[in-house]
């Protein structure tokens, strides 16, 4: 494709505004929790459309945007997803999961029952396109697919959280069934299910901690 450039539309905020906005975003995002109990209360489709549009603004390898989002509110489809997912989870908890994995999950209190897959008004299945097609229908290799789709999914849950909804990133393993169930093509692999809606008024979340800055970041500055 012929390259063409335009000036970046950008106005630097003052340093004061920079700090205020950085603090504001952190204050918002730090309240995000993975929620497993949802209200049946419907969420307008436009909210989901906007969040997906936010997700699709994520950077991606060679700007190939190797993702597709299937937003499901249809009860019969949600039920079908739940039934398939619970079959996978029964196998996971009974046989597939190594002991160490199960003990890592203990604090979360998870198990094979996944009622949230029917309770939540929307399930957003995120697909990763392992390759694409050019205008002549020839296969095009995609670069950094996992990184790109991970970024888009991060944008998606941040957008939904910012809007005021609860989210759960859910990955039944294996989850190949989602491709068949949702009729997606061969070049797409299911990446994650993002469950979203209002939390149930009864929703409880485990008491867990997040690592402090010193544990997750190292700064290398002049004079160090
Ligand atoms: N998919 C299972 C197990 C599970 C795995 C991880 I890694 C989690 O962070 C949480 C759960 C389940 O959803 O129960």
The rounded distance, in Å, linking the Cα atoms of 125 and 189 is 10
Q: Which of 200, 202, 25 is nearest to 121 (CA)?
A: 200
Q: Judge if the beta carbon of residue 108 lies within 6 A of ligand 1.
A: yes
What is the whole-number distance in angstroms between the Cα of residue 112 and the centre of ligand 1? 9
Q: Which of 108, 122, 130 is nearest to 191 (CA)?
A: 130
What is the whole-number distance in angstroms between the Cα of residue 113 and the centre of ligand 1? 11
What is the whole-number distance in angstroms between the Cα of residue 28 and the centre of ligand 1? 25
What Rg do the C-alpha atoms of the chain give, in angstroms? 20
Whether 2 has a pLDDT exceeding 80, the answer reads no
Which of the four pLDDT bands, split at 50, 70 and 90, describes residue 187?
very high
Nearest residue (CA) to ligand 1, atom 10: 105
* Residue reference for tokens 């063409």: 4
The rounded distance, in Å, linking the Cα atoms of 200 and 36 is 9
Whether 103 has a pLDDT exceeding 70, the answer reads yes
Nearest residue (CA) to ligand 1, atom 7: 105
Task: Name beta bridge partners: 83.
Answer: none
* Averaged pLDDT, 164-177: 97
pLDDT, tens digit, 9 for 90 and up, residues 53-70: 999 999 999 999 999 999
Q: Which of 202, 171, 154, 29 is nearest to 105 (CA)?
A: 171
Encoded tokens for 23: 């603090």
pLDDT at 97: 93
* Averaged pLDDT, 15-40: 98
- Calculate the CA 140 to chain-centre distance: 25
In DSSP notation, 154-196 reads: HHHHHHHHHHT-EEEEE--SS-THHHHHTT--TTEEEEEEEEE
* Residue reference for tokens 């002549």: 136
What is the whole-number distance in angstroms between the Cα of residue 211 and the centre of ligand 1? 20
């Amino acid at each position: 494709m012929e390259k063409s450039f335009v000036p970046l539309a950008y106005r630097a905020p003052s340093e004061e505004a920079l700090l205020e906005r950085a603090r504001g975003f952190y204050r918002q995002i730090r309240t995000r929790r993975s929620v497993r109990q949802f209200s049946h209360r419907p969420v307008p489709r436009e909210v989901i459309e906007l969040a997906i549009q936010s997700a699709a603004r994520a950077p991606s390898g060679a700007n190939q945007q190797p993702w597709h989002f299937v937003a499901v509110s249809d009860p019969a489809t949600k039920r079908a997803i739940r039934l398939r997912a619970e079959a996978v989870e029964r196998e996971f908890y009974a046989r597939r999961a190594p002991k160490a994995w199960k003990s890592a999950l203990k604090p979360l209190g998870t198990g094979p029952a996944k009622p949230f897959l029917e309770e939540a008004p929307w399930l957003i299945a995120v697909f990763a396109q392992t390759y694409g097609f050019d205008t002549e229908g020839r296969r095009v290799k995609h670069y950094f697919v996992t990184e790109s789709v991970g970024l888009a999914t991060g944008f998606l849950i941040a957008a939904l959280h910012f809007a005021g909804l609860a989210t759960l990133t859910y990955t039944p393993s294996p989850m190949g069934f989602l491709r068949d169930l949702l009729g997606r093509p061969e070049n797409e692999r299911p990446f994650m299910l993002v469950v979203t809606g209002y939390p149930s008024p009864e929703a409880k979340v485990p008491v867990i901690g997040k690592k402090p800055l010193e544990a997750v970041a190292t700064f290398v500055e002049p004079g160090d």
